[in-house]
A and B are shown apart, each in its own frame.
Chain A
Amino acid sequence: MLHQKSTAASLKEDGPPPVLGTWNRIYAAILIYLVCIIIAFGVFTAAFNR
């Protein structure tokens, strides 16, 4: 049966993120990154779009 065959392999525990130690820190870093991107877009627009 499909599920019985692959259950053991698929139920491996979640691994740690490659950096920053926890997933919540990764999510926070991405939100900060998004804010930085929006600010960078704003600076770019203000500087070059006349």
Chain B
Amino acid sequence: MKTFDWIVMCATLAFIVLYGLWRSRETDTVDKYLRGNREMPWYAMALSIMATQASAITFISTTGQAYVEGMRFAQFYFGLPVAMILICMFVVPFFYRANVYTAYEYLERRFDAKTRALVSIIFLIQRGLGTGLILYAPAIVLTVTLGLPDTATTWIMGLIVITYTTLGGIRAITWTDVQQMIIMMFGLISSCVAAVWMMPANVHLMDAVKLAGAAGRLNALVTHFDPNDRYNMWSGLIGGMFLFLAYFGCDQSQVQRYLTGKNMAQGRISLLFNAMAKIPMQFFILFTGTMVFVFFIFEPAPLLFHKTELATIAADAPVRAEYESAIVARKEAALRLMKDDAAQGEFRAAQERVTAARTQASKLAHNVNDTNFIFLNFVTKYLPPGLAGLILAAIFGAAMSASSAEINSLATVSVIDLYKRFAKRDGTDRQYLNASRAFTVFWGAYAVVTSQFARNMGSLIEAVNTLGSLFYGSMLGVFVLAFFFPKVSGTPAFIGVLAGEAAILSCYRFTGISYLWFNVIGAFVVIATGVLLAAFKPANEIRAT
């Protein structure tokens, strides 16, 4: 990367952080620190929610995924609008009327202190471990691409995040998220335009679309139902809906975003904006990946985008010669296909040769999955000076926005649900503010330290998803009990959560069920256990909502 790119990247990140801190000046009460004094406009909340979801690894992976297997991942978000509508109808009113700081605070009002404490601790365990992974995941990619040691990358990102999160609280996070989201979108649009622009002069946008389609990369809709196929219309609508219900309804890192609005309407609008914007945004990110794919038809792509692993394959290995021959054949077939549809079979055959060579190379290079390195390779090697720096700033920004939101939510739950509830009930506002800042530093440091162990955990994106699925089902189940089963009281709900966790952990340990189903299983066990136990509880134990 050129010096100018480093300057652009550092200046952009400095601007984002300083702007966030400036917007969060005079954060001198707990309410301002944890809920932004409930003054946040809907658009800031909406962009903050989007930025929190878009971690760096998602940003990098999604484009790479389109390169490798097309646009089918977009269907994963079909369940999001339905989930957002249900949350706006049933969850947002409960939280706003209860005037809570955390989602789990509501559980004590509805059930009892022990259920609140249990779910809070489950959240802290899950998110505490997950935040380290979120911080470490982009570091691997950036390390390989930029040559920075991963320890240095995580510490630099960690210290920046801890600084602005500790000083400015949720207001700093929200306003930095807004900037990060704008830069992310600008970076993606620029990348897509640049990918098409840098193709040979005789290749126009519609030619690029035709080639991507001929390679099967424009598969945005798959309608057949197959439970083993992770991304199709039905898994998106049903599985995605459950996942997003749990994520936006029970995860404090998201709930805290829409609780910063001045009223319920602002919270609802921010969520519904996401419901409408997310699918087109994902479509565009994936489309950018397909344009990068077409770009590499004309610009010789490396056999593997993971430089270190590529170096482990011998220079005279037959797979290298086969790959070189295949990409030349593919380029020639592509040029013919642009003029004559009859060349489609020839193009597909060449593409299959390229894919087969890459698969073989991956096996030779310790089964490396280089999906996450494709987009960064394109950015750092081909984009004009300045733009590459801006996009890397967007990637760093995405990592920071996701982790700052997690750290802030961990501190909020620690202070509100545990410290204030069980350790210091009659403290002053200043004491709680100081405690919030202290917990922010603690969780930030914890995330940085745990991220150092993440390098031994294999596929990080899978580790993050699996970790979340081990706990989301129980959390979703207990909130469904709280909202829709008024006869279920505290102890049945508490036992239900324990039963749900036992069921999920048993599935994880003793069965081969895909982790995507853990949310459904866990929620079902919590609800069934709670309802059954409540049937045997005396009526006077039922709490008012």
Tell me the A residues contacting B by CB distance below 8 Å: 2-3, 5-7, 9-18, 23, 26-27, 30-31, 33-34, 37-38, 41-42, 44-45, 48-50
Q: Are A11 and B99 in contact (CB under 8 A)?
A: yes
- With A2-B30, A3-B99, A30-B85 as known contacts, state yes or no: A37 contacts B279, CB within 8 Å: yes
B residues 426-471 in Cβ contact with A at 8 Å: 429, 432
Is B288 an interface residue when CB atoms closer than 8 A count as contact? no
CB neighbours of B279 from chain A (8 A): 34, 37
Residue in A2, A9, A26 whose beta carbon sits within 8 Å of that of B272 in the complex = A26
Closest-CB distance, A42 to chain B (whole angstroms): 5
Give Cα A10 to B63, complex, Å.
41
Q: Are A10 and B38 in contact (CB under 8 A)?
A: yes
Since A6-B31, A23-B88, A26-B272 are in contact, a sample of 9 more A-B pairs with Cβ atoms closer than 8 Å, ordered by chain A residue number, is: A2-B429, A6-B38, A11-B99, A14-B265, A14-B268, A17-B268, A30-B272, A48-B213, A50-B214
Give Cα A23 to B86, complex, Å.
12
Closest-CB distance, B236 to chain A (whole angstroms): 9
Residue in A2, A12, A41 whose beta carbon sits within 8 Å of that of B432 in the complex = A2
Tell me the B residues contacting A by CB distance below 8 Å: 29-31, 35, 38, 70, 74-75, 78, 81-82, 84-85, 88-89, 93, 96-97, 99, 101, 209-210, 212-214, 216-221, 223, 233, 262-266, 268-269, 272, 275-276, 279-280, 283, 344, 416, 420, 429, 432
Q: Are B233 and A38 in contact (CB under 8 A)?
A: yes
Q: Which 3 A-B pairs have the closest CB atoms?
A: A15-B265, A48-B213, A41-B221
Q: Are B96 and A10 in contact (CB under 8 A)?
A: yes
Q: Are A2 and B74 in contact (CB under 8 A)?
A: no
- A7, closest chain B residue (CB): B99
Give Cα A30 to B78, complex, Å.
12
CB neighbours of B85 from chain A (8 A): 27, 30-31
CB neighbours of B276 from chain A (8 A): 30, 33
Give Cα A38 to B275, complex, Å.
14
Q: Are A41 and B218 in contact (CB under 8 A)?
A: no
Q: List 14 A-B contacts (CB under 8 A).
A: A2-B101, A6-B38, A10-B96, A15-B265, A17-B269, A23-B89, A27-B89, A30-B276, A37-B78, A37-B280, A41-B220, A42-B221, A42-B223, A45-B221
CB neighbours of A37 from chain B (8 A): 78, 279-280
CB neighbours of B74 from chain A (8 A): 41
Give Cα A4 to B212, complex, Å.
59
Q: Are B101 and A48 in contact (CB under 8 A)?
A: no
Q: Are A17 and B265 in contact (CB under 8 A)?
A: yes
Give Cα A30 to B269, complex, Å.
12
Give Cα A15 to B96, complex, Å.
12
Residue in B29, B212, B432 whose beta carbon sits within 8 Å of that of A48 in the complex = B212
- With A23-B88, A30-B272, A33-B81 as known contacts, state yes or no: A14 contacts B221, CB within 8 Å: no
Closest-CB distance, A50 to chain B (whole angstroms): 5
Residue in B93, B216, B269, B280 whose beta carbon sits within 8 Å of that of A49 in the complex = B216
Q: Are B210 and A48 in contact (CB under 8 A)?
A: yes
Closest-CB distance, B101 to chain A (whole angstroms): 7
Closest-CB distance, A6 to chain B (whole angstroms): 5
Give Cα A13 to B266, complex, Å.
11
Closest-CB distance, A19 to chain B (whole angstroms): 10
CB neighbours of B212 from chain A (8 A): 48
Closest-CB distance, A1 to chain B (whole angstroms): 8
Give Cα A9 to B272, complex, Å.
23
Closest-CB distance, B28 to chain A (whole angstroms): 13
Closest-CB distance, B199 to chain A (whole angstroms): 17
Closest-CB distance, B191 to chain A (whole angstroms): 20
Q: Are B265 and A44 in contact (CB under 8 A)?
A: no
CB neighbours of A50 from chain B (8 A): 213-214, 216, 344
Q: Are A44 and B221 in contact (CB under 8 A)?
A: yes
Q: Are B220 and A18 in contact (CB under 8 A)?
A: no
Closest-CB distance, A17 to chain B (whole angstroms): 7
Residue in B82, B99, B101 whose beta carbon sits within 8 Å of that of A34 in the complex = B82
Give Cα A34 to B432, complex, Å.
43
CB neighbours of B221 from chain A (8 A): 38, 41-42, 44-45
Q: Are B31 and A2 in contact (CB under 8 A)?
A: yes
CB neighbours of A44 from chain B (8 A): 218, 220-221
Residue in A3, A15, A30, A42 whose beta carbon sits within 8 Å of that of B264 in the complex = A15
Give Cα A48 to B214, complex, Å.
8
- A28, closest chain B residue (CB): B85
Closest-CB distance, B152 to chain A (whole angstroms): 39
- A34, closest chain B residue (CB): B81
CB neighbours of A17 from chain B (8 A): 265, 268-269
- A9, A13, A17, A18 — which one has the most chain B CB atoms within 10 A of its CB? A9
